[in-house]
Amino acid sequence: MLRILSLCLMAALAFVLLPAATATARTLRGEVTYRERIALDAQAVVTVSLVERSAAGAPGKVITSQTIRPRGRQVPISFRLNYPRRLIARDAAYALEANIALGDTLLFSTSEAIAVEPLKTTGPVTIVVNGVPAPALVKDGLTTPAGALQGTEWRAQAIGGRPVLDTAPATLSVEAGGRISGSAGCNRYFGTASVKDGIISVGPLGTTRMACMPDQMEQEKGFLDAIAKTHGFQVDKGQLVLLDAEGKPLMQLVRNDES
């Protein structure tokens, strides 16, 4: 009899304490996405933070954050932030921020933090991040205007010093809005690029999935690898040279008169 009474008392106590314990914690959920039609690199890392904003409106201390490794999953990427109520001040302002990075390179970030009320908002909240331009660098005091590269379709002549196959022409187009696209020789590709003062930063590329002859596929891989490694460029007399981070040529292209 005493055992039964003890179990009943424990059950009643748990019933009383459970709501109180639950009330001390809050959860805010949502998703992170971007508008660019490019694939998210499998090694990319997504970070979402709930921050307390300062009186001036600038981000203050981080209340909680979540680091997500999508490992091949594409946007939208779901997040779930858990935090104790005691960390939230009723007279303070709070916001959500997010970014996507690949190694030490920041790819996407919130241009404006999203205001939330942590004691009321549970979600779902959609955070749209924007592409982050690479910082402009000037090599040897010389720069090439972005307009010299943009608005023209370029056709590859040589990749890594090897002539391009006549049966697999590869092209490159960079629009002023930052879109990059063309034919890699077999498949079409697309992505985004930031261009300024002779510096170009190419984001992750998406491609179609056709299969071609082995020599065409080998050349396509070299073409896409060269674009991914491109850091700078030079345009002179109708010829475009893509350069790596050390200023070494990766690929030579000419204006495509057939476009």
Tell me how far the alpha carbon of residue 131 is from its chain's centroid: 6
Report the DSSP beta bridge partners of residue 81.
28
The upper half-sphere exposure of residue 106, i.e. CA atoms within 13 Å in the direction of its Cβ, equals 14
Above 90 in pLDDT, residue 223?
yes
Helix (DSSP H) and strand (DSSP E) numbers for the chain: 2, 19
Above 60 in pLDDT, residue 140?
no
Pick from 168, 195, 126, 169: which is nearest to 259 by CA?
169
3-state per-residue secondary structure call for 218-254: HHHHHHHHHHHHCCEEEEECCEEEEECCCCCEEEEEE
pLDDT per residue over 97-109, tens digit each?
A: 999 988 767 788 8
CA distance linking residue 252 with residue 243, whole number of Å: 9
CA distance linking residue 223 with residue 236, whole number of Å: 21
Above 80 in pLDDT, residue 51?
yes
CA distance linking residue 83 with residue 25, whole number of Å: 6
Above 80 in pLDDT, residue 57?
no
Residue 111 confidence class, pLDDT cut points 50, 70, 90: confident
What DSSP string runs through 172-191? EEE-TTSEEEEE-SSSEEEE
Residue 143 confidence class, pLDDT cut points 50, 70, 90: very low
Q: Report in angstroms the alpha-carbon separations of 216 from 169, 227, 250.
A: 9, 17, 18
CA distance linking residue 67 with residue 159, whole number of Å: 38
Q: Which two tokens stand for residue 85?
A: 């109520």
pLDDT per residue over 25-37, tens digit each?
A: 899 999 999 988 7
Above 50 in pLDDT, residue 21?
no
pLDDT per residue over 66-79, tens digit each?
A: 999 999 899 999 99
By percentage, how much of the chain surpasses pLDDT 70? 80
CA distance linking residue 15 with residue 11, whole number of Å: 6
Above 90 in pLDDT, residue 127?
yes
